[in-house]
Amino acid sequence: MGKKPFERPVITKINAGMPAKFGLQIRHDPITDIDGVPLQSLMDQYGSPLFVYSEKTIRQTYIEAYRAFSSRYPNVLLAWSYKTNYINAICNIFHQEGAWAEVVSGFEYRKALKNGVNGGHIIFNGPYKSTDDLILAINNESLIHIDHFDELYDIIEISKSMEKKPKVAVRVNMDIGIYPAWDRFGFNYENGEAWDALNRIMHYENLELVGLHTHIGTYIMSTAPYKVASKKMADLAIGLARKFNHHIQYIDMGGGFASKNTLKGGYYPGSDTTPSFDDYAEAIISELMKAEFAPDHLPMLILETGRALIDDAGYLAGTVIANKRLADGQRASILDAGVNLLFTSFWYDHDIRPGKDVSDQTEETAIFGPLCMNIDVIRKSTAFPLLKKGDPFVIKRVGAYNNTQWLQFITMRPNVVLIDLKGKVHIIREKETLETLNQHEYTPDHLQVI
Amino acid sequence: MKIKKNLAISDTGFVFDPSTGDSYTLNPIGLEIIQLLKNNLSLEEITEHMTREYDVDSNTFERYFYDFTGMLKQMQLVIPDEA
Ligand SMILES: Cc1ncc(COP(=O)(O)O)c(C=O)c1O
């Protein structure tokens, strides 16, 4: 029986004087499969909502980033930023490609060890490393990036009773012309604090100064700040070579490259405005090459790129639960995935696509998650295709920071699957259940009965 | 529910309300429903027709029908029902 497909009826007012933004062609090409695996079959098997990762995209993105740098500079290394996404399978894809690990807590440090990363290939960043963490890291010959003087003196103290010489670097913060400047991590360049810290380390022979580190911020949308930062890092390194004849092994420029997501309120889509890996590489390396490094003392360049390496590879698939009208007549769609799973919806205007073929018709729609909380807004208003209750949707570019910052709040964390290079689907993190939660709770005897 | 008599509705789904100067666009299903309403069909008759032609059950259709006519009311394109 050839009945015609039903789409919900809609009427839209035409506003003659709409600003150009709304004149931009908004396309909502549906995503009906990921790497050839039909979306609906994924959700039928693994549930809705569902995080889906493409191994192919992860590897391609890594290779693209690595090439952008290695084609311009002889000695380049990427260290995977664990906090961006520390699901073990994801980390190990990066490690297989050659990435070291960059961690910012004792927990992440041990996670990297368990993944099989050689201790000497772990960069330990962050303002808090416990004494136990530091002892472990020193024994493993990991690269400890010092954040403040108290930590420097902790390390000096601990090292006195240890056989191994701690390998340390100094985290530097600086004015790079963007505001607000990140000055809470590391030692400041402009006021001389960083140089002071380096001098103290050089005078203390029980520490081995191996590198210099900076991380100028995240989602840096232009390349100019990296030029400024590279120059200042090179200056410090040259200063050490001059004063102490000490040649550091590496300059670590941190992360911060923007992904192709659109920042909230961004006028143009991020896919049009984000610099490429080549652009960032050119900015950083042109400055390093200008510096007075002797050819045999060119430091290794380390990058701790997080979001730009993983955002594109992650998708959040789910189902429309309901449509409704708000008091002012605006349409609202309620999805089964909320801000508890999609922390990045506080930063980004996420690109939400229908998960099946729909007509070109759209309606201004508020997109809410399923939480009974006013904050659960994925998009305040977006031209959205006419999805009905039960229809699938996909949110693109969710690979960075969501599977680490997601909350068990009101609903449970769902399955995460990986599609491998052959199109085979693997659960890489199992969904949580009531049991998962209850396992960690104890109800005292007198509260057992109600 | 009655559609305002003076509305100009084109076959392509363009609507002009001369009393306010506002224009609107309809998707094909919206257009079909508004034409049925203009011909004074009842909800039952419209549901009958739509469920016969389209892949939709009557409950689902009714839900979207009320949502749609709610918008028509909001946009003041219908004559209010006499109480
Ligand atoms: C020290 C350090 N390195 C790397 C990263 C990764 O940053 P991004 O995801 O912006 O590339 C971060 C995140 O803020 C960081 O704090």
The interface predicted TM-score (ipTM) is 0.93
Q: Tokens 């004494």 label which residue?
A: A131
* Number of domains chain B is built from: 1
Q: Cβ separation of B15 and A325 shorter than 8 Å? A: no
Measured CA to CA, the distance from residue A133 to residue A431 in angstroms comes to 30
CB A81 less than 6 A from any atom of ligand 1: yes
β-bridge pairing A425-429 and A352-354: unpaired
Greater confidence (B11 vs A135) lies with A135
The stretch A312-337 carries a mean pLDDT of 95
CA distance linking residue A79 with residue A17, whole number of Å: 49
Q: Does A326 touch chain B (CB under 8 A)?
A: no
Band of residue A2 on the pLDDT scale cut at 50, 70, 90? confident
Strands B78-79 and B2-3: antiparallel
pLDDT on residue A449: 93
Whether residue B17 lies inside any domain: the answer is: yes
Whether residue A20 is predicted with pLDDT greater than 70 in this model: the reply is: no
Kindly state the percentage of chain A with pLDDT values over 90.
Answer: 85
How far is it, in rounded angstroms, from Cα A310 to Cα A403?
11
Question: Which residue, among A1, A4, A6, A323, would best test binding to B if mutated, counting the most B CBs under 10 Å from its CB?
Answer: A6
d(CA A332, CA A216): 38
Answer whether B71 sits within 8 Å of A13, measured CB to CB.
no
- Work out the mean pLDDT of chain A and round it to a whole number: 94
Report the alpha-carbon distance of residue A209 to residue A165 in Å, rounded: 10
Mean pLDDT in residue range B9-17: 89
B83 belongs to a structural domain: no
Cα(A86) to centroid of ligand 1, in Å? 13
> A4-18, A191-205, A247-261, A342-356: lowest mean pLDDT where?
A4-18
Quick one: pLDDT at residue B81? 66
Q: Is residue A359 scored above 90 in pLDDT?
A: no
Under 8 Å between Cβ of A174 and A229: yes
Concatenating the DSSP letter of every residue in B1-64 gives -EE-TT-EE-TTSEEEETTTTEEEEE-HHHHHHHHHHHTT--HHHHHHHHHHHEE--HHHHHHH
Quote the pTM value.
0.89
pLDDT at A19 over 60: no
- Give the CATH number of domain A33-52+312-438; options: 2.60.40.3140, 3.90.950.10, 3.30.70.3280, 2.40.37.10: 2.40.37.10
Q: Which residue of A3, A6, A329 is in closest CB contact with B74?
A: A329
Q: What is the mean pLDDT of residues A415-427?
A: 98
Q: Does A10 touch chain B (CB under 8 A)?
A: yes
The CATH code of the domain that includes B57 is: 1.10.10
Query: Cβ of B61 and A12 within 8 Å?
Result: no
pLDDT single digits (tens) A66-123:
999 999 999 999 999 999 999 999 999 999 999 999 999 999 999 999 999 999 999 9
Q: Which residues constitute the domain of residue B28?
A: 2-77
**Residue A328 reports pLDDT greater than 90:** no
Provide the pLDDT confidence category of residue A22 given band limits of 50, 70 and 90. Answer: very low
- Spans of all domains in chain A: 33-52+312-438, 55-310
- Give me the DSSP letters along A24-64: S--------EETTEEHHHHHHHH-SSEEEEEHHHHHHHHHH
Does B24 sit within 8 Å of A11, measured CB to CB? yes
Using alpha carbons only, give the angle A114, A434, A438 rounded to the nearest 5 degrees.
75
Q: What is the pLDDT of residue A264?
A: 87
pLDDT in tens, B27-49: 999 999 999 998 889 999 999 99
Q: Which listed CATH number (3.40.50.1980, 3.40.50.300, 3.20.20.10, 3.30.450.40) goes with A55-310?
A: 3.20.20.10
**Around Cβ A155, how many Cβ atoms within 10 Å?**
24
